[in-house]
Amino acid sequence: MTPKAYRRRLDIKNGRVDLSHGSGGRAMAQLITDIFHEALDNAWLRRGNDQAAFDVAQGRMVMTTDAYVVSPLFFPGGDIGSLAVHGTINDIGMGGAHPLYLSASFIIEEGFPLADLKRIADSMGAAARAAGVPVVTGDTKVVERGKADGVFISTTGIGAVPGGLDLSADKAQPGDRVILSGTLGDHGVAVMSKRQNLAFDTDLVSDSAPLHGLVAAMVEAGGQDLRVMRDPTRGGLAATLNELADQSDIGFRLEENAIPVRPEVAAACELLGLDPLYVANEGKLVAVVAPKAADVVLAAMRAHPLGRDAAVIGEAIEDDHHFVQMTTGFGGGRMVDWLSGEQLPRIC
């Protein structure tokens, strides 16, 4: 009788991903089992199929996908793993939906330390468990050294929309209030503070967080009076409001003094010549709400831990130019235009 082959454990402490981990052989199976199944464990993954099967509820569903290439991979307040969970959950949530399932695919560069990969997978698992949204299927590819930058992650998610709700970026109307869930720019500045050529000292952490709990509270309070929600990630609040203005054929008028920004973010932006309105967030949302519901939605947001600093920052106005205008804290007027060029590359 042939003896059973000795199964060498993955050397997570000192080992590195090599091309065999993506080849479809035993090494790949072991990587998936020992790192990903271990970290993300749930009933769907345990069945080991190439797809996850689940029952579908009646009604509307949402589906979204996002790729994560943040640099550095680990930053104060999170890492690419937790970000890949939060970002996709938030894209589901912005449809007013309750997130149900995620998928994750990893593109890993040859030579990437197994310890880092495990740290990322564990963080992803912790984020998924905390949010109550399982990663039910996934994929792993390994590319030659130099063909990627450590690891890239792509996640897809699906969610269910509460009955009757239909949020959409073309629904904002003149007179609607603009509500921001909290301080701007925390994620972008936290990530940048760890960039190799730009490191500066700050206690600031990324705001990366899953917003579906906050969204549920807002949906309960505002219902059909919620017109549209969006998370201001790349391009920041400025990009989000310019998109909404174009899609809804309106303009916006903002009050700079009403927009919450942490002093340390404001200071870092001053130093680096950035504008917090353009810096990325990963745990904030902007909602456009019918005026009559603004107060109750705002109150519901402030009662939620992720919306404590929520504020009405302006309103939608009629404007066929779709300008986003702002009264500055100084008392003058200015536009908040689209970002041109790159303010901060690879922030998510």
Partner 1 sequence: MKYIDEYRDGRIAQAFARQIAGEVRAEASYRLMEFCGGHTHAISRFGITDLLPANVRMIHGPGCPVCVLPVGRIDMAIGLARRPEVTLCTYGDLMRVPGSRGASLLKAKAAGADIRMVYSTLDAVRIAEAEPSREVVFFAIGFETTTPPTALAIRLAAAKALKNFSVFCNHVLTPAAIQSILESPDVRALGRVRVDGFIGPSHVSTIIGTQPYEFFAEEFGKPVVVTGFEPLDVLQAILMLVRQVNEGRHEVENQYVRAVTRDGNAIAKGEVAEFFELRKSFEWRGLGVVPYSGLRLKQAYATFDAERRFDLADAGGEDNPACECGAILRGVKTPTECKLFGTLCTPDTPMGSCMVSSEGACAAHWTYGRFRDRARSAA
**Which parts of this chain interact with partner 1 (CB under 8 A)?**
197-198, 257, 263, 266-267, 270, 273, 321, 323, 325, 327-335, 337-338, 340-341
For tokens 């609040």, the residue is: 237
Task: Indicate the residue type of 76.
Answer: P
Q: Which is nearer to partner 1, 83 or 280 (CB)?
A: 280
Distance in Å, CB of 51 to partner 1, minimum? 39
C-beta of 321: minimal distance to partner 1 in Å?
6
Q: Which residue from 87, 316, 279 is spatially nearest to 183, judged by alpha carbons?
A: 279
Distance, in Å, from the CA atom of 294 to the CA atom of 85, rounded to the nearest integer, reads 29
Give the contacts of 70 (CB within 8 A, at least 6 positions apart). Answer: 80, 83, 191, 346, 347, 348
Least Cβ distance, residue 242 to partner 1 (angstroms): 12
CB nearer partner 1, residue 24 or residue 331: 331
Q: Tokens at residue 212, please?
A: 């579906």
Helix (H, G, I), strand (E, B) or coil at 129: helix
Q: How far is the CB of 341 from partner 1 (least distance, A)?
A: 6
**What is the token pair recorded at 215?**
């969204």
Nearer CB in complex with partner 1: 225/264 = 264
Cβ proximity to partner 1: between 273 and 305 the closer is 273
| CA nearest to 336, candidates 260, 274, 254, 233 | 254
Is 162 within 8 Å of 84 (Cβ atoms)?
Answer: no
User: Shortest Cβ distance from residue 63 to partner 1 (Å)?
Assistant: 31
* Adjacency order of strands within the sheet including 324-327: 226-230, 286-289, 177-180, 311-317, 251-255, 324-327, 333-335
For the bound state, the minimum distance from the C-beta of residue 328 to partner 1, rounded and expressed in Å, comes to 5
Query: C-beta of 337: minimal distance to partner 1 in Å?
Result: 5
Output the smallest distance, CB 331 to partner 1, in A.
5
Of residues 18 and 264, the one with the C-beta less far from partner 1: 264
- For residue 301, give both structure tokens: 């947001």
Measured CA angle at 222 (ends 217, 223), to 5 deg: 95
Q: Which is nearer to partner 1, 146 or 331 (CB)?
A: 331
| Closest CB to partner 1 among residues 58, 197 | 197
- Closest contact distance (angstroms) between CB of 251 and partner 1 is 9
CB nearer to partner 1: pick between 128 and 277: 277
Mark residue 343 as left, alpha or beta (left: phi above 0; alpha: psi -120 to 50; beta: remaining). alpha
Asked if the bond preceding 72 is cis, omega within 30° of 0, the reply is yes
Q: Which residues contact 176 (CB under 8 A, 6 or more apart)?
A: 227, 288, 289, 290, 291, 315, 316
Please say which residue, 129 or 253, places its beta carbon nearer to partner 1.
253
